Amino acid sequence: MQYVSTRGHQRLGTFTDVLLSGLAPDGGLAMPEQIPTFSAAELERLRGLPYTELAYEVMRPFISDIPEDDLRGLLRQTYRAEVFGSEEITPLTALGDSGLYLLELSGGPSLAFKDMAMQFLGHAFEYVLERDDRRVNILGATSGDTGSAAEYAMLGKERVNVFMLSPHGRMSRFQQAQMYSLNEPNIFNIAIEGVFDDCQDLVKAVNADAEFKARYDIGAVNSINWGRVLAQAVYYFRAYFALGLPAGAEADFCVPSGNFGNVFAGYLAKAMGLPIGQLMVASNENSVLHEFFSGGVYHVWPAERVAQTSSPSMDIGKASNFERFLYLVAGGDAVQTAGWWAEVGAGRPVDLRGTVHWDAVAASGLRAGRSTHADRLATIRRVDTEFGRLIDPHTADGVLVGKRFQRPGVPMVCLETALPAKFGETVEEAVGRLPERPAQFEGIEDRPRRCEVLPNDVDALKGFIAGQLDIKRRG
């Protein structure tokens, strides 16, 4: 399978090439040249497979440059009960007989769904770097969960350094502590004076400097990395089969969304033939995606408009992966996508109303809803009271929107994207008690912190990266 850029049909190589390179040289995102599909009979063959086997079947068509046995080995190394807390890896739990289900994705080391793909990336990076005798310096941006998942996945990996940008003071105390308390020679935490979108723009700006990128072997672990999206698609298949529906029957999914990576992975599963009906995008108060799906205009929000909310990982005004979705809406027309992103880059709206593209959006099954702080608290409280289940604020955004858009007789699977322990303050506000936290995280907020605060300035960031790598090189 070959990959191309969303902005120019530039050939980017095979899976391991795009795994290591992150953004395309033209600023676009990597997409497979075509999306392989499963027939109804093939889908039936996947029903009941253990997680690693299912992951192999879903991912294999996209990965032509890792031998079959090696890929199976990487997946077995990744998806283990000891790492994800259960043999099922992603258990599906019915919320009573409400027709709502929780897909549990947060049993991994950092207590958020990001581990599902990031653990795979950790093993895959190590495999490819050893095979090719290379090193990579990962530059990432986080609004709270990608950062810790990436750092836990890359801890102690000899050929990898992680430089992780986070918005200064905008994550939960637990999230900050998870990252900043690490004291490892290959992990560098950098708090940027800005919002998540500023952090992500810095990542893109560094990637746009081809000379710097090549000299310092810059790589990516955000969902701009195709490996993330691909590994995330697997659990949609898993959840669908766990519902035990008759062949071909539809299920709906609701996905708490910020950077549009998770829900795009669901769209990929749907495009591969999984019978997903509605795919709900649940936003918080930063409802730029809701604006698009309800009105047809995509107009990114400037940093000043992005509010600090109680589902902070979704405080995003410019959703990276949305570019992949619009590329598919345009039928893989990279020139059209590049045109739209020139508008986005200039801060202007992309208006699809009345166009064939808007018809394609309507046919995609994606819909959106949004939630507020009060909704979030009420949903956490209701799910606790009615179903005896404590959920985190992001999952609550999803459950609220999922319930709103439920169709009679069609199961609605809500993705649980983090454990409540990460957001104790908000959960306590909702139900009057703190959530349980795993023993290894007791007192984490009191541990010493290691984090560099930098201005929102690309040259300052490049200087920091170059300086730290020089120090390491000199030993």
Ligand X SMILES: Cc1ncc(COP(=O)(O)O)c(C=O)c1O
Residues with a catalytic annotation lie at: 114
Radius of gyration of the chain (CA): 21
256 is a site residue for ligand X (CB under 6 A)? yes
Site for ligand LJ64HWYM in 317-346 (CB under 6 A): 320
Using the 8-state DSSP alphabet, how is residue 80 labeled? Answer: -
121 is a site residue for ligand X (CB under 6 A)? no
Question: Given the complex with ligand X, which of 254 and 338 has the nearer CB atom?
Answer: 254
Which of the ranges 205-213, 238-246, 256-264, 265-273 carries the binding residues for ligand LJ64HWYM, by CB under 6 A? Answer: 256-264
Given ligand LJ64HWYM, ligand X, none, residue 394, with its beta carbon under 5 to 8 Å by kind, binds: ligand X
Segment holding 188, helix H or strand E: strand 187-192
Q: Are 323 and 341 in contact (CB under 8 A)?
A: yes
Alpha carbon distance 361, 375 (integer Å): 27
Given ligand X, ligand LJ64HWYM, none, residue 278, with its beta carbon under 5 to 8 Å by kind, binds: none
- Encoded tokens for 26: 């033209």
Site for ligand X in 341-400 (CB under 6 A): 394
**Which residues in 373-388 are b (16+ Cβ under 10 Å) and which e?**
bebbbebbbbbbeebe
Site for ligand LJ64HWYM in 139-168 (CB under 6 A): 142-147
What's the min distance (Å) between Cβ of 200 and ligand LJ64HWYM?
7
256 is a site residue for ligand LJ64HWYM (CB under 6 A)? no
What's the min distance (Å) between Cβ of 282 and ligand LJ64HWYM?
13
What's the min distance (Å) between Cβ of 6 and ligand X?
17
Given ligand X, ligand LJ64HWYM, none, residue 283, with its beta carbon under 5 to 8 Å by kind, binds: none
What lies within 8 Å, CB to CB, of 390 at 6+ separation is 380, 383, 384, 420, 427, 431, 435
Given ligand X, ligand LJ64HWYM, none, residue 260, with its beta carbon under 5 to 8 Å by kind, binds: ligand X
Site for ligand X in 47-76 (CB under 6 A): none
Question: Given the complex with ligand LJ64HWYM, which of 58 and 117 has the nearer CB atom?
Answer: 117
Q: CA distances (Å), 9 to each of 6, 32, 438, 439, in order?
A: 7, 10, 47, 49
Question: Given the complex with ligand X, which of 79 and 423 has the nearer CB atom?
Answer: 423
Q: CA distances (Å), 325 to each of 30, 151, 179, 304, in order?
A: 12, 28, 31, 26
Question: Given the complex with ligand LJ64HWYM, which of 337 and 417 has the nearer CB atom?
Answer: 417
Exactly one of 258, 266, 317, 420 binds ligand X (CB under 6 A); which one?
Answer: 258
125 is a site residue for ligand X (CB under 6 A)? no
223 is a site residue for ligand LJ64HWYM (CB under 6 A)? yes
**Length of the chain in residues, anyone?**
475
Q: CA distances (Å), 435 to each of 297, 349, 374, 421, in order?
A: 39, 41, 19, 5
Q: For the sheet containing 11-13, what is the strand order?
A: 11-13, 3-5, 30-32
Query: What angle do the packed helices 424-431 and 173-180 form, to 10 degrees?
Result: 160
Q: Are 205 and 220 in contact (CB under 8 A)?
A: no
Alpha carbon distance 317, 161 (integer Å): 28
- Rounded to 5 degrees, φ, ψ at 41 are -65, -40
- Encoded tokens for 29: 């995102």
What's the min distance (Å) between Cβ of 418 and ligand LJ64HWYM?
9
What x-and-dash track marks residues 136-175 binding ligand X by CB under 6 A?
Answer: --------xx------------------------------
- Chain center to CA of 434: 27
393 is a site residue for ligand LJ64HWYM (CB under 6 A)? no
Q: What is the binding site for ligand LJ64HWYM (CB under 6 A)?
A: 142-147, 222-223, 258-259, 261, 313, 320
Q: What is the binding site for ligand X (CB under 6 A)?
A: 112, 144-145, 223, 256-263, 313-314, 394, 417-418
